[in-house]
Each structure stands twice: as structure tokens, then as C-alpha cells.
Amino acid sequence: MPRTLYDKIIDAHTVCPLDDSGQLLLYVDRTILNEYTSPQAFSGLREAGRTVWNPSAALMVVDHVNPTASHRTAEVADREAAGQIAYFRENAHDFGIELFDILDPRQGIEHVVAPEQGLVMPGMVVAAGDSHTTAYGALGALGFGIGTSDIEHYLATQTLVYRRLKTLRVVVDGDLAPGVTPKDLVMEIIRRIGADGATGYAVEFAGPAIAAMSVEGRMTVCTMIVEAGARGAVIAADEKVLAYIQGRPRAPKGLLWDQAAQAWLALKTDDDAVFDREVHLAAQDVAPMVTWGTSPDQAAVITAHVPAPDSEADPSRRAALSRALDYMGLAPGAPLDGIAIDHAFIGSCTNARIEDLRDAARVLRGRRVAAGVRAIIVPGSTQVRAQAEREGLDRVFTAAGFEWRQSGCSMCLAMNDDVLKPGDRCASSTNRNFEGRQGKGARSHLMSPAMVAAAAVAGRLADVREFTPFEEVV
């Protein structure tokens, strides 16, 4: 029977079925642990007197609560954060798991670190305590987030109780226009299908526009599709993926690489496989996007206007729209490209890789952040930071008036010192614009890194296409 890529990966990792409803015992190749979602799992292991079944199949990375100030030290002033990190270190030592601590040159956001170390490869199943583990779909792997009890179960057994998902293929034809990025594409997809449009599905992305993307661009798409409810995302591996993985520290080498590469290129959806649902869109119809509300699907093209609640026929959606506009302090009919901002933030697992920083630098070269705007760039990893400095991007950012910070999750979820105040309005390259996501009462507008850079310079939400042509950064 013809099979989808998702089904092939699940079939290859099924230990045994558990019932007739689709529930099964799934072997998981790897997990990445952070200091915020893992403590209870380790406490559970300790209380039960259990060990970690395969410590080498896990990596521990400090990323959620660590400070990102420009000068990094091992000291953490916040007592709660310091306690979480200390227990994290204790667990790494006691259970024999490798740790990328704050001062480790490989430290960074887990979903940036794992691929750059070569820990994620096509055909793998990776489960971790963060919903954006879907990022690994860009490498032909299946990644998904799990809860604390599942983390404990995985650590003890390297398996999970899992229910097979339905399959959704998103096909993107044509080419993205200049100034339009993978972030804009995935925001448009979420806007079209809704915040629950992929609930219960594993999403496969396909089509010429996806094939033309870099691996880093694909990571952005796979990371953010979870905001439409997806529980998994995959893109078939191609030569770009092989080029991205080859030579990385943990990647196969020699004959093993040759064998793996051949198998990875063959791992794809069969031509006549049937998906439970398909969505098609034309890349040329996508334009630079921003969110105006408090859900990632409450988004529009930057040249549009704030929608009016009266335009929504469904009573519950109309009420949600009204609540969102009230929280965001926006009036219906106001042009999106006239909304003034106080902050600009470039970072997160969705958009803090080296290509994202290059995109921002193209806009910022020779320009200055508007008066009254605080602008921050937090690289996705220490290695991304070092690469950016080798390319001179840090000098572009600081000359423009951006703060050049150390790596971590930072203002994406406001678990460290990077917190907005009530009423602050931020142009953000992150993945969620929920109420209070970047600080209690803070107002977040999601967009691409290039759009954040444009907004920082303009002092308002702005169309990055006004800043073309895009200069090459050297």
C-alpha cells in the first residue's frame, strides 16, 4: 500500500500496537531536555529508583531561564532560575547525560542546537518537552512535543505511548516574491486554516516553494506550524538536507555516511499515497505578514487594516476578535503599517538562525533604530552568535542601535530578565502572540526578522519592501 513519509517513519518506530484504536508503543530515537520542562521527570525517576535507559540518546541544554545579557557569566541572579539550572546540572551528573551549560560554546536554544550539532537526521523520531520540536521536520525527521510524564517514560524506556495522527499535506506552488520569507508563508498558512486547522494532523510540506527554501527556512515553517495545532511536521530530505548535515560534529562519517545518505534520499512519500486532507496555495499570493491580535492566526498582510468585529459572522469568533482588539489597544480600520511600537525583538527557535540574522542585517545596514524604540537581537545559539560576529553582522546591528545579546529563549516567553511591561508594543520574530506571552499586559506583533528590522527603523509596523533593494551583507 502506498505510504506517506509520516506513516513510514511511524511504522519503522512502532514497537507494538497497544489496542485497536491506533494507540501504539513508539520507539523514540532522541530527546533534547531543557531546565524548565524536565525537573519533574527527573524527580519522578528518583522517587521510583529508576535510571535513564540510554543516556547517550538525550542532550540537556540550558536555554529557557538563563540571562541573555551581552556579557555572559555562570552566575544567575534570579533565585528561582538559578535553582532550576542547579537541579538541571545535578540531574545531568547523576543520570550521566551530556549537558550544554550556560558557558558551553555549544549552548543555545534546543531547536537550534540539536540540528547544528548533527543530532537530528532524516527518518528519526525526536520527542521533547517543548511543542516546537516540530522544527526537526525540516530535516526529514518527525519531531513533536511531549509532557512531563511522557519525558519520564521516555527516559526510563526510550519509548512512548503514542496515537497515530491523520495526515495533512500542504503544497506550495511557485516562488516567493522578493521580501517574502518562510515566516510570511507559514503565517499565511496559519491564517488560512486557523489556529486549530491542523489539530490532530501530522503536516507534510511539499511543492516547488518548499523545495526552493533553505533548510533553515524549512525549520521556520516546521517550527511554527504547531501554532495551527499540528502535532508533527515533515519535509522529505533532499540534497540540501544532506549538505546541511554532512560534516557536523555528530553526523555519520565515511562509509556510514554514504549508506545513510542513500537511505535518506529514498525516504519520502510514495507518489500515489493518499493524505487525509490537502491544502494548496500559490507562493506568489503570499506577502509580508504581521499579526494584529492575540492568536497567530489573527494575521494579515502589512498593507491591510485592522479588521472590524462586525465583519465576523460567527458569534464566538466575533467575541474573540473583540477581545483581541481590546487587549491589543487597536481600533478597527486602522492601517497596520501605522501602528507605533516601543520594542523590536529578533530571536526565538523560529527565527534566530544565521540566515535570519543576515536578513535583518540587509535591512539595517546604514540605518538607525527610531528614537524611543528599544531593539534587541538574541542569537539562537552561541555558535550562531560567533558566526554572525565572524561575518561582521554584530557591527551592523550595534551601529543601527540594536542590543547584541547572548543566546537563549529570552523575550519569546519572558522567563528571564527580558520582559516587557504592561502596554508595551513589540515587533517580534517569535512564534506566539498570546496575551502576556512577552510580559503581563504586553502586546506582541509577530513577523519575520526582516520585518522586525524594518519596524525598528520606522518606529512602527512597516512593509519591508519599502527598504528594498536588499543589499548583500559582507
The tens digit of pLDDT for each residue in 324-376 reads 999 999 999 999 999 999 999 999 999 999 999 999 999 999 999 999 999 99
Q: Say what the pLDDT of residue 470 is.
A: 47
pLDDT tens per residue, range 386-395: 999 999 999 9
Tell whether domain 166-237+270-285 is in CATH 3.40.1060.10: yes
Q: Say what the pLDDT of residue 74 is.
A: 86
Q: Say what the pLDDT of residue 22 is.
A: 83
Position 469 confidence tier, pLDDT thresholds 50, 70, 90:
low
- Residues 6 or more apart in contact with residue 395 via CB below 8 angstroms: none
Closest Cα to residue 66, out of 436, 389, 444, 418? 418
Can you tell me the distance from the alpha carbon of 257 to that of 67, in angstroms, rounded to the nearest whole number? Answer: 38
Q: Say what the pLDDT of residue 61 is.
A: 98
This prediction's pTM: 0.96
Asked if the model's pLDDT at residue 200 lies above 50, the reply is: yes
Asked if the model's pLDDT at residue 474 lies above 80, the reply is: no
Asked if the model's pLDDT at residue 440 lies above 50, the reply is: yes
Q: Say what the pLDDT of residue 95 is.
A: 98
Closest Cα to residue 343, out of 438, 433, 427? 427
Q: Helical H runs in 225-351? A: 239-245, 254-266, 315-328
Q: What is the average pLDDT across 157-183?
A: 97
Q: Given this chain, do its domains 5-165+238-266 and 166-237+270-285 carry the same CATH topology?
A: no
pLDDT tens per residue, range 118-165: 999 999 999 999 999 999 999 999 999 999 999 999 999 999 999 999
Residue 121 carries which side chain, given as an amino acid letter? M
**Which residues make beta-bridge pairs with 17?**
24
pLDDT tens per residue, range 229-239: 999 999 999 99
Q: What is the average pLDDT across 86-101?
A: 98
Q: Which residue has the cell 491564517?
A: 191
- CATH fold of 289-467, please? Aconitase; domain 3 (3.30.499)
CA angle 322–324–329, rounded 5-degree value? 95
Whole-Å CA distances, 239 to 134, 209, 242: 21, 16, 5
**Which residues make beta-bridge pairs with 201?**
166
Position 311 confidence tier, pLDDT thresholds 50, 70, 90:
confident
pLDDT tens per residue, range 21-59: 889 999 999 999 999 999 999 999 999 999 999 999 999
Closest Cα to residue 40, out of 163, 153, 127? 153
Q: What is the average pLDDT across 252-275?
A: 98
Q: Which residue has the cell 474573540?
A: 320
User: Any idea which of 72-86, 211-225, 362-376 has the lowest mean pLDDT?
Assistant: 72-86
Cβ distance 364 to 396 under 8 Å?
yes
Q: Say what the pLDDT of residue 177 is.
A: 95
Percent of the chain with pLDDT over 70: 99
Tell whether domain 5-165+238-266 is in CATH 3.40.50.20: no
Write down the domain spans for the chain.
5-165+238-266, 166-237+270-285, 289-467
SS3 385: helix
Asked if the model's pLDDT at residue 473 lies above 80, the reply is: no
**Strand 159-163 to strand 23-27: parallel, antiparallel, or no bridges (unpaired)?**
antiparallel
Look up residue 378 and give its three cell numbers: 538574541
Question: Tell me, what DSSP letter sits at residue 224?
Answer: H
Look up residue 67 and give its three cell numbers: 540571562
Q: Say what the pLDDT of residue 149 is.
A: 95
Q: What is the average pLDDT across 78-106?
A: 96
Can you tell me the distance from the alpha carbon of 275 to that of 33, in angstroms, rounded to the nearest whole number? Answer: 32
**Strand 289-291 to strand 299-301: parallel, antiparallel, or no bridges (unpaired)?**
antiparallel
Q: What is the average pLDDT across 163-178?
A: 97
Q: What is the average pLDDT across 225-254?
A: 98
Asked if the model's pLDDT at residue 414 lies above 90, the reply is: no
Average per-residue pLDDT in the chain?
A: 96
Cβ distance 237 to 141 under 8 Å?
no
Cβ distance 186 to 292 under 8 Å?
no
Asked if the model's pLDDT at residue 472 lies above 60, the reply is: no
